[in-house]
Each structure stands twice: as C-alpha cells, then as structure tokens.
Structure 1
Amino acid sequence: MMAQILEVKNLKKYFQTPGGELHAVDNVSFRMEAGTTLGVVGESGCGKSTLGRTVLHLHESTDGKIFFQGEDITRVDKKKLKALREDMQIIFQDPYSSLNPRMSVSEIIREPLKRKGGRTKAELDTDVERLMDLVGLAQRFANSYPHELDGGRRQRIGIARALSLNPKFIVCDEPVSALDVSIQAQILNLMKDLQDQMGLSYIFITHDLSVVKHMSDEISVMYLGQMVEKASAAELFYHPIHPYTKALLSAIPIPKVNIERKRILLKGEITSPVNPKPGCRFAARCAYASEECKAPQTLEEVEPGHFVSCCCSKKFI
C-alpha cells in the first residue's frame, strides 16, 4: 500500500472584491498517494490554479486543513515554510514570464541551491550540469538567456529549477498549454520519466482533457471553486456521472475522419462566484436541475473510488 503524501480537508480560499467575497476555492477535499498524479480539470476561472497555489502557500487559505506527509501545514511560520519549499515546488504555466530575463540558464537553476547554502562553487557547478542533463538541456545553453531559447527549452529550465532541491511533490500549473503540440509531447514524456525516476507526486492542472488522461492516475473535475467529481482516469472517461463532466468530455474531438462526437451544449447563465447561494452551482446550466439542487451539495462516493457532488447522480449510475 502506497503512503499518503497530501490530504486536503474542506479547503477554502476567498478573495475580497468590491461586490463581496469571491469563492475561488470552496470546501474542496481530496487525498493523494505518494508517486501518483492527480489531474485537476475545469473551465478557466474554476479555481484550479488557486487550489494548487493555496496548497503551496503561495496563497494563504481562508479555512480548511492541509496535511503534507501526515503533518498539518495549514498555518506555518517563515522557518517552516522555507523547509517546505524543498519538498513542495511548482512548475508555472508561462515558461517565459516565470524566468528572470536578466539571469542565464545556469544562474536560474543555481539560485535555489545557493539560497539553501552548504555547497561550494564546484559543487554548485556540478549540480547545475546534472540538472540540465536530467531535463534534456544541452550544456551549450548554460550561459544563454531565456529570450534566446524556444518555449520548450524555457519550460525545461523551469522543470530543472523545480527539481533543484529534490522535492517530493510538484504542482504543475498548465505546464504545456503555452507550448506547440509537438513540444507538449516531449515535455509530458519528460515529466512522466522524471516521476518514475524520482518517485515524484504531481497535481497536474490543465484544461486539456486528452493531456490529463495521459498524465493522471486520478482526475478531479472543478466547477466554480468546487470539486464536482473525482475518480480514476480510466473510470472518469469510461463512466462520467456528473452532467458537467459529461459536457466537458463531449468536447474532446475524435481524431478520425467522418466521425463526430455528440456534443452536449450547455445553456443558461453561469452562476456568479461572488457570494454564491447554497446549492449546486451548475444547476443554472444543467438539464436535470430540480428543486432538490437548491440544497447544499457534498462530494459522496457513489461507486468504489468514484466521488460525485450531485443530488441527481443516482439517475446516471
């Protein structure tokens, strides 16, 4: 049995706006086993990136609990947070804006190691060379600057930087969405290889459902700050239950001539995430909505390992 690396309980992150509280992440709970990948999907603005950043303390949570390797890290001081940074890292979406344009490739990768301390210059040089080799960056780029490289190589720099302190857990915030399709495949395969070699655990945030199926052991679907469905990747694609998940999957194109997938087109107004009313936030766009949907919804296990937040879910099993 694999050890549990991350557990999130009833996590909330609200932002104050002139109109009230924006519920970016609202009452989200999940568990992750070490060495696995949890994919998080949903429309833009559903709270995927905010969830990942809140787990890493790039945003401080409004409420709820975060446990890392069994330890409560919901509220930590600066000293503890610095120690956590060695075990918990992030790969950002934009491989250009996340890199310092005034630093060379070797300086960017070297920076986390310098801040940790305890290494001589020769040891730092050796570590930088090792990390560049690990992510497939040729040594001739060591003195290059980010603007001189293409998107794929820039993202490899970001991956090398994230790996520099030998973390156990990485939030991958849409790491290939800004890259060409051919480069996406290279980066995804690199990440899977690194996971196998180093036993890494990933939260893989994306809006590309084909990518998330390839990368993930389990997949969570988010809608307006809430987790509406969670299951293994194979189960979710074979047997989606929540109406929103079904609509998402219906949008995946079939790579065959003369075959079209039957699209589920959503109608109705999107519920505002600012001071939302209790109940299902998808109800305004759901063809199956009823009075029962106005009650608060909770994520429940409807089949072994398959969790759904929908009072109508029994109709679809």
Structure 2
Amino acid sequence: MAALLEVHDLMKYFKTPGGMLHAVDGINFTLNEGKTLGVVGESGCGKSTLGRTILHLLDATGGQVLFEGRDITNPNKSELHRMREDMQIIFQDPFSSLDPRMSVCEAIMEPLILRGGMSRADMLAETRQLMDTVGIAARFENSYPHELDGGRRQRIGIARALSLKPKFIVCDEPVSALDVSIQAQIINLMLDLQEERGLAYMFVTHDLSVVKYISDDIMVMYLGQMVEKAPAEELFRNTLHPYTKALLSAIPIPSIHDKKKRILLQGEITSPINPKPGCRFMARCQYATGECACQQTLVECSPGHFVGCCRYEAVKYEAINNMEESK
C-alpha cells in the first residue's frame, strides 16, 4: 500500500535571543490511508508544532513532506489552496477556535464559501448534512458557540474539518478540554468517520490511555525528536526507550488494591536551544553512559519498532528480569 503521507527529516526551528530553538528536529514517518498515528510526549516536546508544520500553518525550516507521492514541502499559493481540501486540522480548544460572531450553521459553511463553486442552497444542504453526521441537532443551527457545551463545540470543529472532504486530519489534542464522558463520544465519532470515509489521522495527545485506544502506530517525542515509534500494542507490550517507560508508568491503574511503580525522572532538562549532539534525554536517564553523548540514530529493533537509544538492550534486559522476579 502506497503511503498517503511521508515525512522526511522534517525540521522547524524558531529564532530566539539565545539562539535557535529546535522545536521539531529530524522527524521521519509514513502514514497510510485509513490509519491513525498517535503522537505523544510531555508539553513542549513539539507535538503540535509538528502537525502545524506538516499542514503549512508554520513554514518548515528543513526536510521534506510528500502527500500522495507529491512534494508539498514548499507549495505556491494555488497549490496551498488545493492542499487545504485534502489536509485539515481539529484544534485543541473548541471555543477559541470558533468565531463567536458566527452561528453553528455559518461556522460550518465558511470553508464551503471560501472554496466556492456551490450555490447557497447547496451549501446550506451540505452544512445540515454535516451537522447530522457529527451529531449536532438541527435546533442548534442558529446557536452561537457561547450557548453550547464543549462537546457540541468540538463537533462543530470536526464538521468544519470534514466539510471539504479531506483525506488527512491533524487532531491536535481534540478531547483534552472535554469531560471524560464527552471524550468517549467524540473519539467514537472520529473512529466511525474514519471507517466510513477512509480518513487518516495524526492524533496529538498527552493522554496515553486515549492514544492506545485510537492509534494504529504511536510515536513518542522528546524535545523535538522521535525517541520511539511502534504499533500501539507492541509499544505497550515491549517498551524499549527509558523515556517511554517513564511515560507509561504514569498511567493510573483503576484499582485500589494494585500498586504501580512510578518512574520519577530526575536531573536537568536539556535546553532545546542550540542542543548539543547526542541523546537529549541522557541527563535524566538512569541507563546513560558516555556512549550516549554521541549522535543518536533510530534503530529498527523489530519490524516497525524504532527506538532512538543506544542502551535499549539494557532497558529490555531489566524488564525481562523484573518480569521473572514478579512470578
């Protein structure tokens, strides 16, 4: 199967008074039609910046982005306009991403108006169909964002993203601002839409329970770099990077009887401004040696499982020993 989206050595740097901030630094991945890539990591690791750079909401510093085999790294104005139909985004905050002066109907219709080529009656019919698709009742057609709850606002954001019939959607923490019960409704809606329309998602989140449920593959980022990537089940079953292990240890267990050992990271966080070569996690890593100060590269330790750690064998060996001791 040909990849829908290919990202090669993508970089996004920001100029600061102290030097260049490496927000996204050499990211590589492919995404097929109808699949979901989950992107996780702590705040500030570059997850959202990666998605916005792929969509050209931010200009890339370096690297290459291919969509359906077509190079879209440096599109001109007309190419960018066409791209908007195939690639969309759902923003994190459903309230701030909507114009408070637009009703539900007007907000969903706006992308259709900007694209053009449809009569007012056809756009209105399409808007009402989108409202029905995402579960917004017709009685809210003339309501405004401040009159709706968070779940309905996010459904408007999803309807806007779907309005131009895209093939790829960046979901930038689309459920983090919602109550848990509403989160489940929105995630199930997105999964149903993916199955019906063959959508590909890049699902950015910090919630590891959510990302396991929705993702086919998961990519873990740390200070702008990919430190581990694997199929979802494989990542949880065979975690190899020390940072990924620390993240997974923070997932709460829904039992008062079982206790989970948390991995508490210590040490100074490496500055993302003009970082030195080598592993950016080594200052906080219990397995670090002098070898880690060298340039780090991703290793494919098993089919589809990549890890950016020269000490991953030591991590794996310790995990096996811990499993044997617990028996």
TM-score for both structures, normalised by structure 2: 0.96
Question: Does the 8 Å contact 2:14/2:21 carry over to 1?
Answer: yes
Paired with 1:175 and 1:106, the residues of 2 have a C-alpha distance of 21
How far does residue 100 in structure 1 lie from its aligned partner after superposition?
A: 0.4
Query: Deviation per CA, 1:58-114, whole angstroms, max 9, x where unpaired?
Result: 001000000011111000001000000000000000000000000000000001001
Name the residue aligned to 2:131: 132
Query: Deviation per CA, 1:220-253, whole angstroms, max 9, x where unpaired?
Result: 0000000000000000001100000000000001
Q: CA RMSD of the aligned region, Å?
A: 0.6
Name the residue aligned to 1:284: 283
Paired with 2:117 and 2:72, the residues of 1 have a C-alpha distance of 26
Paired with 2:168 and 2:146, the residues of 1 have a C-alpha distance of 29
Paired with 2:6 and 2:262, the residues of 1 have a C-alpha distance of 35
Name the residue aligned to 2:52: 53
How far does residue 260 in structure 1 lie from its aligned partner after superposition?
A: 1.5
Query: Which segments of structure 1 move beyond 4 Å, counting only runs of 4 or more?
Result: none
Query: Deviation per CA, 1:182-217, whole angstroms, max 9, x where unpaired?
Result: 100000000000000000000000000000000100
How far does residue 122 in structure 1 lie from its aligned partner after superposition?
A: 1.1
Gaps of 5+ in 1: none
SS at match of 1:128: helix
How far does residue 128 in structure 1 lie from its aligned partner after superposition?
A: 0.5
Matched ranges for 1:183-194 at <5 A? 183-194=182-193
Give the AA of the match of 1:164.
S
Give the AA of the match of 2:294.
A
Name the residue aligned to 1:10: 9
Asked if residue 143 in structure 1 is aligned to residue 139 in structure 2, the reply is: no
Matched ranges for 1:129-208 at <5 A? 129-208=128-207
Task: Give the length in aligned residue pairs.
Answer: 316
Query: Deviation per CA, 1:12-63, whole angstroms, max 9, x where unpaired?
Result: 0000001100000001111111110000000000000000000000001000
How far does residue 298 in structure 1 lie from its aligned partner after superposition?
A: 1.1
Paired with 2:187 and 2:259, the residues of 1 have a C-alpha distance of 27
Name the residue aligned to 2:232: 233
SS at match of 1:24: strand
SS at match of 1:272: coil
SS at match of 1:175: coil
SS at match of 2:210: helix
SS at match of 1:52: helix
Asked if residue 118 in structure 1 is aligned to residue 117 in structure 2, the reply is: yes
Paired with 2:283 and 2:82, the residues of 1 have a C-alpha distance of 44
Q: Which moved more, 1:257-266 or 1:57-66?
A: 257-266
SS at match of 2:39: strand
Question: Does the 8 Å contact 2:253/2:260 carry over to 1?
Answer: yes
Give the AA of the match of 2:228.
E
Question: Does the 8 Å contact 2:287/2:314 carry over to 1?
Answer: no
Matched ranges for 1:22-37 at <5 A? 22-37=21-36
Paired with 1:195 and 1:304, the residues of 2 have a C-alpha distance of 25
Paired with 2:96 and 2:202, the residues of 1 have a C-alpha distance of 21
Name the residue aligned to 2:320: none
Paired with 1:297 and 1:72, the residues of 2 have a C-alpha distance of 27
Q: Percent identity?
A: 68
Paired with 1:295 and 1:33, the residues of 2 have a C-alpha distance of 33
Name the residue aligned to 1:263: 262
How far does residue 315 in structure 1 lie from its aligned partner after superposition?
A: 2.4
Query: Deviation per CA, 1:147-197, whole angstroms, max 9, x where unpaired?
Result: 000000000000000000000000000000000111000000000000000
Question: Does the 8 Å contact 1:253/1:260 carry over to 2?
Answer: no
Paired with 1:167 and 1:88, the residues of 2 have a C-alpha distance of 5
How far does residue 3 in structure 1 lie from its aligned partner after superposition?
A: 3.0
How far does residue 258 in structure 1 lie from its aligned partner after superposition?
A: 1.2
How far does residue 257 in structure 1 lie from its aligned partner after superposition?
A: 2.1
Paired with 1:245 and 1:191, the residues of 2 have a C-alpha distance of 26
SS at match of 1:316: helix
Name the residue aligned to 1:306: 305
Paired with 2:77 and 2:174, the residues of 1 have a C-alpha distance of 27
Asked if residue 296 in structure 1 is aligned to residue 289 in structure 2, the reply is: no
Give the AA of the match of 2:227.
V
